[in-house]
Amino acid sequence: MTARAPANLRDVGTMVVVGGGRTRVGALLRSDAPYDGDDLSILDAVPVRTVIDLRSEYEAVRRPYRWSPTVTVHRHSLYDAGDLSSLSPAMTLTELYRDMLTASRSRIALLPKLLGHGNATLIHCTAGKDRTGMAIGALLLLVGVDPTDVVRDYRATEDNMPAVLERAHDAEVIPSTLMRPEWVQAPDVAIDVLIDEVTRWPGGVRAWFLDHGASPDDLDSTIAWLTTREN
């Protein structure tokens, strides 16, 4: 019998940074939610010391994962409607992302403060696509990853969604009656909602973070930790 494990877990290291360098391997990972009973031995080589859980309190309490005492877990709900229960079935994915961004700008801007500087950080929600996609996308833009590569990383989730939904169904965390086919896709137009606002902000990406509550020191330490310069 194959051990259970998150279906949308990946390291965002090795991505090219504009101006030179790459994102650091073993610094920032993204995933769907781990559940008790999962085998996370894949993380032993990193290892993760900070987890940022973007789910609502309701979601996190329903299906928790009991991390080791050596791991610092930040419950940082990014979007209270993320469990889908309060969303209109008529809402398009693009509309969902616009609503999510409006509701979570200051929460996204606080992410650099929560990262485990010097230690690997795992960011996850339930599926690892929408809230996680927006959080990871913003951080990648902050450190200088080209928007086309941010889109490429976001789109990579779509291939994992059948397995993610199977896990979520077994865990009874995503009501199948609420799911629209569009909501399990990862089209460019969805993540472009974030990319367009952040990159076109007066003063650029850094100014967007600062204007929504981030501190300069947190931004500087985040960029230093998440990137490595090539010789």
Q: Give, in degrees to the nearest 5, the angle at Cα 28 between 24 and 34.
A: 150
Q: How confident is the model at residue 90 (pLDDT cuts 50, 70, 90)?
A: confident
Domains for the chain: give ranges and CATH numbers: 10-222 (3.90.190.10)
Q: How confident is the model at residue 62 (pLDDT cuts 50, 70, 90)?
A: confident
pLDDT digits (tens, 9 = 90+) for 12-51: 999 999 999 999 999 999 999 998 889 898 888 898 999 9
Q: How far is CA 9 from CA 12, 38, 152, in A?
A: 10, 12, 15
- Rounded Cα distance between 114 and 104, Å, is 15
Between 8 and 181, residue with greater pLDDT: 8
Q: Model-level pTM?
A: 0.93
DSSP string, 88-156: -TT--HHHHHHHHHHHHHHHHHTHHHHS-TTSEEEEE-SSSSSHHHHHHHHHHHHHTB-HHHHHHHHHT
Q: What is the pLDDT of residue 52?
A: 98
Q: What is the pLDDT of residue 50?
A: 97
